[in-house]
Amino acid sequence: MKFNKLFHTQFNSRVNIASQDIFNLEKSKSIFELSSSNLIFKYKPVVTIADPFLFVDDDRLYLFYEEQVSLGGKGVIKMRWTTDLVNWSFPITVLKESFHLSYPNVFKFNDCVYMMPETGSDKSVRLYKPNNDFTQWTLYKTILSNKKYVDSSIIFKDNIYFLFTTLCEDNKYKLMLFCSEKIDGKYELHPKSPIAIGNNNGRCGGSVFEYEGKLYRPTQICENYYAEGLKINEILFLTKNNYSEKYLKTIIPNNDEFYSLGGHHFSFVFFKEEIIIATDGLSLSLNFWEVGRRVHRKLKGLV
């Protein structure tokens, strides 16, 4: 698909109650949406509300996501929460760095809560820890460095921490797998790494997760353009010495208009006896100032 050059792509996020088939987004029920700016003359529009991660603590459902203002801006991590799936708190910025942030993967191991956002602009994979109400996050440890790793995920299985992270070089993706005996220990390269190569399979679109006794890896489809779509791979073998997976199904794009142009994220949790899903969708917008910025960058040879 070729987009009109006057328009630029944006991301919006949505929270759904899943149907019986959690991968059938067309049959899920939308309960909350976060939309980027769509005003043609707004000076600094919000162009990205993406990578929505869900996390449950006690009686609250938390939604962490990336927000980026203007195409040249740096992403920050924001958070909202609800107790009833109807009323949501006002958004607050919970993590901001001197470099771009996205993909706020929040998870819990051994009663400790961590965030592992994408910090590829810093050429690192970092773990952060929160304060009591998750409104502030502090760097805990850098576990990989010196290369541009993006969209990382950790899963604990058979007393091993498996780290999935994509090495991004020359706009090509290589999905790397690392192993450690401690979440904050030394991560060794898995003997099967890279476990996936290419822009159609080499980058995760949400954390690796277990559902009904099986492991799944949401996978971005970026063969023709970024965030073209999302598919689900089922992990068949994950051991210290072996790895294999198979394609299960493509879930974005689909017939729902929200996902018609694409999207690149999937997150789910159990909350209030429901399966809650968070996704994002690609959209197009026309903004006077963003067109001007792109023209300026083009004349300066920046793109």
**Cα distance between residue 120 and residue 36, in whole Å:** 23
- Does 302 have pLDDT greater than 60? no
Share above pLDDT 70 across residues of the chain, in percent, rounded to a whole number: 97
Say if CB 209 and CB 191 are below 8 A apart: no
* Domains of the chain, earliest start first: 8-299 (2.115.10.20)
Q: Which pLDDT value is given to residue 295? A: 76
Output the average pLDDT for the chain. 94
Say if CB 25 and CB 255 are below 8 A apart: no
Query: Cα dist. 154→37, 127, 164, 219 in Å?
Result: 33, 11, 6, 15
- Does 297 have pLDDT greater than 80? no
- Does 265 have pLDDT greater than 80? yes
SS3 162: strand
Say if CB 141 and CB 126 are below 8 A apart: yes
Name the token pair of 298: 């083009």
Name the token pair of 219: 């996978």
- Does 38 have pLDDT greater than 90? no
Q: Which pLDDT value is given to residue 288? A: 84
- Does 166 have pLDDT greater than 60? yes
Query: Tell me: the pLDDT tens digits for 6-22?
Result: 788 999 999 999 999 99
- Does 131 have pLDDT greater than 70? yes
Specify the amino acid at residue 177.
L
Say if CB 197 and CB 204 are below 8 A apart: no
Name the token pair of 50: 């993406």
**Cα distance between residue 67 and residue 233, in whole Å:** 27
Say if CB 139 and CB 99 are below 8 A apart: no
Q: What does pTM read for this prediction?
A: 0.95
- Does 293 have pLDDT greater than 90? no
**Cα distance between residue 153 and residue 158, in whole Å:** 17
Query: Tell me: the pLDDT tens digits for 179-217?
Result: 999 999 999 999 999 999 999 999 999 999 999 999 999
